């Protein structure tokens, strides 16, 4: 299946995050924002469905939103246009550059070790890190950090890739719409879980940077 898709925790002398070469090569193509705007067959549907689910559970009023692993900032920019304050934490330098050029407050960072203070965000988006961290211990760290920066009653919206990813094309290759569910932890923080949109298509090649993540539990 190829090399696991993962982040590495060490930092470079320039202060950046070292990424697995496969992940870095994939995102250095610079097509993540394009993907969600129609450059990928299911990208627009994924974007609009994600927005629908976020709005369904988003509290009212101007919110402090931390978008962790938010790529080039498609969702952060959208939420800023809705009069919220958004900050992007992203391990890919190109994405930080693209987000900054779009007027987004963005920084290089690791989902497992955030620089933000406890309780400093009202909403956390985790729409990428959980399927780029195949080790359960790393996903737990990312979720623990997301909870740390929220106050009681805060909201986490996360995304995962489900076990259907990469299955052979079936007779009717229609996209399966993602479902969501809401849970709460002991402190009353809500979490909206959004399985990734899956388009039924041929099994991905071994070098697909999302293939390993689909098998995580």
Q: Domain residues of the chain, as ranges?
A: 16-165+173-215
- Vertex 101: Cα angle to 125 and 82 (nearest 5): 45
Q: Which of 22-26, 102-106, 188-192, 201-205 has the highest mean pLDDT?
A: 102-106
3-state helix, strand, coil split of the chain in percent (to 5) is: 30, 20, 45
Model confidence pLDDT, tens digit, residues 21-38: 887 888 888 888 777 776
How far apart (Å, rounded) are the C-alpha atoms in residues 83 and 77?
10
- What pLDDT is attached to residue 155? 93
DSSP state for residue 52 in the 8-state scheme: H
Q: Alpha helix (H) ranges present in 82-206?
A: 93-101, 129-132, 136-148
Report how far residue 17's alpha carbon sits from residue 10's, in angstroms, rounded to the nearest whole number: 6
Is pLDDT at 64 greater than 90 in this prediction? yes
Hey, how many other C-beta atoms are within 10 angstroms of the C-beta on 153? 12
Residue-level pLDDT at 71: 92
Give me the residue label for tokens 């070292």: 18
d(CA 146, CA 192): 13
- What does the pLDDT read at residue 6? 37
Give CA–CA dist 64/38, Å, rounded. 28
Compute the CA torsion angle 147, 61, 50, 121 (nearest 10 deg): -20
Q: Tell me if 68 sits within 8 A of 125, measured CB to CB.
A: yes
Residue range 16-165+173-215, CATH number: 3.40.50.150
């Amino acid at each position: 299946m190829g090399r696991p898709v993962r982040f590495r925790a060490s930092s470079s002398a320039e202060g950046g995050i070292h990424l697995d070469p496969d992940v870095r090569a994939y995102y250095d193509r610079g097509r993540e924002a394009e993907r969600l705007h129609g450059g990928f067959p299911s990208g627009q549907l994924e974007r609009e469905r994600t927005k629908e689910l976020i709005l369904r559970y988003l509290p009212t009023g101007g919110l402090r939103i931390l978008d962790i692993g938010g790529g080039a900032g498609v969702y952060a920019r959208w939420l800023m246009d809705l009069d919220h304050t958004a900050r992007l934490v992203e391990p890919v330098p190109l994405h930080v550059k693209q987000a900054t050029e779009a007027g987004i407050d963005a920084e290089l960072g690791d989902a497992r070790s955030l620089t933000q203070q406890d309780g400093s965000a009202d909403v956390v988006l985790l729409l990428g890190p959980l399927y780029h961290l195949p080790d359960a211990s790393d996903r737990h760290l990312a979720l623990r950090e997301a909870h740390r920066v929220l106050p009681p009653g805060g909201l986490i919206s996360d995304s995962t890739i489900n076990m259907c990813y990469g299955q052979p094309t079936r007779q009717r290759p229609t996209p399966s719409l993602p479902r969501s569910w809401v849970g709460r932890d002991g402190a009353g923080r809500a979490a909206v879980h959004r399985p990734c949109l899956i388009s039924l298509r041929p099994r991905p090649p071994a070098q697909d940077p999302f293939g390993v993540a689909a098998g995580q539990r």
